[in-house]
Structure 1
Amino acid sequence: MNLLDEVRSLFRPALVAMSVDPAKIDDYVAMVKPAANADHGDYQANMSMALSKTLGKKPTDVAQAIIAALPANSLVDSATVAGPGFINIRLKTDWLVEQLQQIATDERLGVPTLASPKTFVIDYSGPNVAKPLHVGHLRSTIIGDSITRLLRFLGHTVISDNHLGDWGTQFGILLYGYKNLLDREAYEQNPVQELARLYKAVRILIKEAGGEDEEAIANPIAEKCRHETAKLHAGDEENLRLWNEFMPACLSELHSTYEKLGILTFNHELGESAYNPELPEIVAEQLAKGIAFDSQGAVVIPNAKGNIPQTKEELEKEDPPALIRKRDGAFTYTTTDLATVRHRVNVFHADVLLYVVDFRQSLHFKTLFAQAKRWGYTNVEFEHLSFGSVLGADGKPFGARKGAAPGLVELLEESLVLANKKYWESYKSRKEQGHDVPDLDETEISKIAENVGIGAVKYADLSQNRTSNYKFDPEKMLATDGNTSTYMQFAFARCRGIFRKANEPEERFRTNPPKVILGQPTERALALQLLRLPNALETAAAEYMPHHLTAYLWDVAKSYSSFNEQCPVLKAETPELRDSRLLLVDLTARVIHLTLDLLGIKTVERM
């Protein structure tokens, strides 16, 4: 049950009865939102001011008319007009109590599964496998993982495909580096580390030879790297042997990092190499259909507008076309991406294709999607889920291409060390203050530090609007107050601690829940937040924005903190009130656990 939808559904027939333009009713209904101030009610409707101009009436009169037209229901306790025409809605307490008892027995906590699920194919992470993951891969990986978890929970079929960069120009750079700059001993000891060194070393040589663009025609080092790439694509025996030699170590390193980060196993990892045999056919088909064109020995596709600029002036006025075959016969990642579209629709039967890739690739995807539709893929939805940059402490983006981006493993290890340090600082401080602090063994402390440290990194990212930049600051990420993973994990641990002290089995509250008593404002406020879970999940899924989940968790945690301060649980005045509050505590723990899990973050029983 989506509580917001339930409230909004009452306004639709009221607006119809008032002869409001049917085309605008959805917009007016969307103006019903949770009240910012609980003193004003539970929900507030702000459409009266906008409607007053259309209906030629005072906003307060319109508001009164809407209230009078609301259908009979068991949900609303009162609807009143305030200020210039706001409608304040207060829900019936008995109705809230009934809903809480229902979700207590529901494993999904009242979140319905969709009646018409879709098949999604989601493309995220997509690293170049020849290099260790760096912080630049962080956002794509954890945003994509969270969206995958969320869509699956809601009932969609979600196929995750890690489109690995295992065949492009970076391998030409590696092959050139291997043949000319290899440190054999270092390679035998740590192949991934040596390959990463070679990549950086060749990039420096390219820059010294005439700039950072590996596609530059006049750059002799870049030309040699492109030649190695073309040989690989043409099936050169030595280059294929080296490619097969590089891949196992690279994939092992990659999967180890995913495991440390707590990322779901991908359904597929079809890299660029998987599509290589299809690329000549793709280009030929595009040419035959008249949607690709020869251009000075290369083959290009139109930009999103369908235009091929003919002059320099035209090129400067609009987006350029995209290459799908270079002059030397090598293909591009645009060609490969066209092949993935065909595979994902024809083989995976996708209804929606999602690409979690940073904002710098916006032009690429705009062109790709337009070309896919020209190609005939008009019955599938395409979405580029772009995101901003991870910034260093100086507020500047980590320089991945210049080799300045720190390795992701190193950043995660830094967070784990800091989490362990903060645990012992908290332990000592709370002991000195006389708190009852559990004495845990080193194994459990290490596990707590791991869950807290990794969770802090992921939550700090996911709590941002994904289109925004954010600073990577482990100290702030691990703060024990404010909207952080640590605070949410602590709230969960507090809930679990209450049940340990109560010596009560949770099953009693989940199979035969007691009646909830909402006599205090903080009890009622917490109850409302717990019932708003479905709305938070559906909003996050509709917009592909995980930060809606963290914002919801923050509201739940604040409500729980106020409840915990003002409503004694184990020392409640009556057994009935004790049971009621224990049920609220258990529901809070379950909601936090579920929502954190959808973000890919683990909870801890003790902190």
Structure 2
Amino acid sequence: MKQKIQDILTGIVEQFKKDNLIPQDSNVRVMIENTKDKKNGDYATNLAMLLAKPMKKKPQEIASLIVNSIPVSNEITKVEIAGPGFINFFVSKNYLAAQVEAILSDDHLGVKVTDKPETVVIDYSSPNVAKEMAVHHIRSTVIGDAVVRILEFLGHKVIRANHIGDWGTQFGMLIAYLEKKENENASNLELSDLEAFYREAKKCYESDEEFAVKARGYVVKLQSGDEYCLKMWKKLVNITMVQNQEIYNRLNISLTEKDIMGESLYNPMLKPLVEDLVNKNLAVKDDGAMVVYLKSFADKDGNPRCVIVQKKDGGFLYTTTDIACTKYRCETLGANRIICFADSRQHEHLMMSWEIARLAGYVPEGVVLEHGAFGMMLGKDGKPFKTRDGGTVKLKDLLNEAESRAAELISQRNNDLPDNLKDEVIKTVAMGAVKYADLSKNRTTDYVFDWDNMLTFEGNTAPYLQYAYSRIQSIFKKAGEAKPGKIVITTPEEEALAQQFVKFNEVVNNAANKIAPHIICTYVYELAGLFMRFYEACPINKDEVAEDVKASRLALCKAASSIIKTGLNMLGINVLDRM
């Protein structure tokens, strides 16, 4: 209905132009808002006030012209002018009920699949090889995966890109140390060993000159494609990614081995890329290094920013890799849109890499490059989340702690669950709580990680929403053979719930456009609250409830459960029929 009202008003503005009531070049944006107070209708617009200046009339006079131009409709029961010139629209309850029934009959719950699908490359998670995933990886991982799911739901082709750190001079040291450990019959390495493994390799490199010489030699061999070094390198990558995949599976992250596009993928591109930048007069030699001067990043004195793309010794930098990566995603993957989820401190680096890629012609006109920047996860002390002794928190340990706390929460609430179901509930609640605590916050801001606030069945948490869903399933179970039927809206609670349902399409598209999963979190939380108020005010399974009323309310229950489940699934959070 919102879109229909917008179309009607847009048509009226165009007619005003034809009638020369406003200049032809007037750029008036028609805005329709959902009203907060239903006494003022369901939708409102300030269009009359926006037209006051170009039409040189009072807003209320213009509002009267607009209202008189709106065609009679069975869908809009009343249009009224309020205050200085707002126009309020009251939607027919019968039409609202029909909209909800249409949502229920649609596999996409009223969310329109795009008629202009794009190829979207989403760069997220990006752990480093030979290091265990730490808690700081969670934001990129869960936010990126939620956006992937949202865009796929809308019909876009999404390419997941796990840009792992699997290349660089440190791999000579790591290969040499892996060789040393295998010679000592310690070949069965696990990821937990690799944390110490990396530190010991570094210590060995710094204290043993013979080892350091071998390590430096292995760097050269690896980069030139030596078979033995490549074999040892692949072993390090596999050890790391097998363990990381366990984390992804546990968190219900959709990344798999086929989505790995590490730094090594772009290594063969770097030398010819720098040569191309030189040929295009973008890169020049400066003190032995190859640099690009960016006028768009000039300092306050007008001096262009110097960006190194190749060092004096011939080595390449992360910037060079990111330019090559962008070129590959545009030319090979055919991206229309590239979204990179990395923390806000990477913003300038990405902007400069992308600027060079555009100047070099690697990014076709119309391709959108977006930095999905996010803030930091903080402890209650307002500082970056750390262990008590100040160390980095391993992501695996955080998830173990979440399951331990979820087990205690579930045992306090329900001791009747069979053991096999209890394990599933604990894992589902724990992983949902961790993910939702992150996703429900605006991604661009820092947020405080708080166990007590995230693992509770009250407030804006995953357990609260999961419980709301399971409660609806218990309503269906109690209803027995009674089925959802024709919807008839008679109470304010039913109307409020129905109005929330019809917003779903707008919410999902808004979250996709702004790459902001918290928009869906807020919507689903509000929906759950409206459902609880509906449930308390509108009996369903009581004997005195007429069959047609029961069928109508069961249909509203079905819409609520379907949208809650779909909304949470878009966030990568599972629901349960019983908790």
- Name the residue aligned to 1:257: 247
Distance, in Å, in 2 between the alignment partners of 1:13 and 1:192 is 63
Query: Is residue 363 of structure 1 aligned with residue 340 of structure 2?
Result: no
Query: Is residue 528 of structure 1 aligned with residue 499 of structure 2?
Result: yes
1:342 Cα deviation from its structure 2 partner: 2.3
Query: Is residue 338 of structure 1 aligned with residue 323 of structure 2?
Result: yes
Query: Is residue 288 of structure 1 aligned with residue 286 of structure 2?
Result: no
- Name the residue aligned to 2:417: 440
1:278 Cα deviation from its structure 2 partner: 2.1
- Name the residue aligned to 1:587: 559
After superposition, the C-alpha distances for 1:477-509 in whole angstroms (9 at most, x for unaligned) are: 11211111111111101110100111247xx54
- Name the residue aligned to 1:60: 60
Amino acid at match of 1:482: G
- Name the residue aligned to 2:364: 378
- Name the residue aligned to 1:433: none
Query: Is residue 268 of structure 1 aligned with residue 240 of structure 2?
Result: no
Distance, in Å, in 1 between the alignment partners of 2:114 and 2:463 is 32
SS of equivalent residue, structure 1 residue 322: strand
SS of equivalent residue, structure 1 residue 409: helix
SS of equivalent residue, structure 2 residue 512: helix
SS of equivalent residue, structure 1 residue 321: strand
After superposition, the C-alpha distances for 1:282-308 in whole angstroms (9 at most, x for unaligned) are: 11111111111222222223337276x
CA 1:17 to 1:173, structure 2 compared with 1: closer, same or farther past 3 Å?
farther
Single out whichever of 456-465 and 261-270 deviates more from structure 2. Answer: 261-270
Aligned residues: 567
1:385 Cα deviation from its structure 2 partner: 1.1
SS of equivalent residue, structure 2 residue 497: helix
Work out whether residues 13 and 71 of structure 1, in 8 Å CA contact, stay in contact via their aligned partners in 2.
no
How many percent of aligned residue pairs carry the same amino acid? Answer: 34
Distance, in Å, in 1 between the alignment partners of 2:295 and 2:75 is 49
- Name the residue aligned to 1:502: 479
Distance, in Å, in 1 between the alignment partners of 2:322 and 2:414 is 52
SS of equivalent residue, structure 2 residue 393: coil
- Name the residue aligned to 1:34: 34
- Name the residue aligned to 1:435: none
CA 1:183 to 1:474, structure 2 compared with 1: closer, same or farther past 3 Å?
farther
CA 1:198 to 1:537, structure 2 compared with 1: closer, same or farther past 3 Å?
same
Q: How does 1:100-139 map to 2 (within 5 A)?
A: 100-139=100-139
SS of equivalent residue, structure 1 residue 293: strand
Distance, in Å, in 2 between the alignment partners of 1:304 and 1:175 is 42
TM-score computed with the length of structure 1 as normaliser: 0.86
> Structure 2 stretches of 5 or more lacking a match?
none
CA 1:132 to 1:161, structure 2 compared with 1: closer, same or farther past 3 Å?
same
1:469 Cα deviation from its structure 2 partner: 0.8
CA 1:279 to 1:491, structure 2 compared with 1: closer, same or farther past 3 Å?
same
Query: Is residue 570 of structure 1 aligned with residue 560 of structure 2?
Result: no
1:17 Cα deviation from its structure 2 partner: 3.0
> Structure 1 stretches of 5 or more lacking a match?
210-220, 308-313, 429-438
Single out whichever of 227-236 and 164-173 deviates more from structure 2. Answer: 227-236
Amino acid at match of 1:298: A
- Name the residue aligned to 1:80: 80
1:124 Cα deviation from its structure 2 partner: 0.8
Work out whether residues 303 and 321 of structure 1, in 8 Å CA contact, stay in contact via their aligned partners in 2.
yes
CA 1:473 to 1:190, structure 2 compared with 1: closer, same or farther past 3 Å?
farther
Distance, in Å, in 1 between the alignment partners of 2:327 and 2:157 is 18
Q: How does 1:203-218 map to 2 (within 5 A)?
A: none
Single out whichever of 66-75 and 366-375 deviates more from structure 2. Answer: 66-75
TM-score computed with the length of structure 2 as normaliser: 0.90
After superposition, the C-alpha distances for 1:482-541 in whole angstroms (9 at most, x for unaligned) are: 111111111101110100111247xx54xxxx2211100000110111111101001111
After superposition, the C-alpha distances for 1:569-594 in whole angstroms (9 at most, x for unaligned) are: 11262100000000000110000000
Work out whether residues 187 and 195 of structure 1, in 8 Å CA contact, stay in contact via their aligned partners in 2.
no
SS of equivalent residue, structure 2 residue 294: coil
Distance, in Å, in 2 between the alignment partners of 1:22 and 1:35 is 31
Distance, in Å, in 1 between the alignment partners of 2:189 and 2:214 is 26
Distance, in Å, in 2 between the alignment partners of 1:159 and 1:56 is 52
Distance, in Å, in 2 between the alignment partners of 1:338 and 1:148 is 23
Work out whether residues 233 and 330 of structure 1, in 8 Å CA contact, stay in contact via their aligned partners in 2.
no
1:262 Cα deviation from its structure 2 partner: 0.4
1:157 Cα deviation from its structure 2 partner: 0.8
Amino acid at match of 1:414: E
Distance, in Å, in 2 between the alignment partners of 1:338 and 1:487 is 44
- Name the residue aligned to 1:218: none
Amino acid at match of 1:271: G
1:366 Cα deviation from its structure 2 partner: 0.6
- Name the residue aligned to 2:392: 405
SS of equivalent residue, structure 1 residue 14: helix
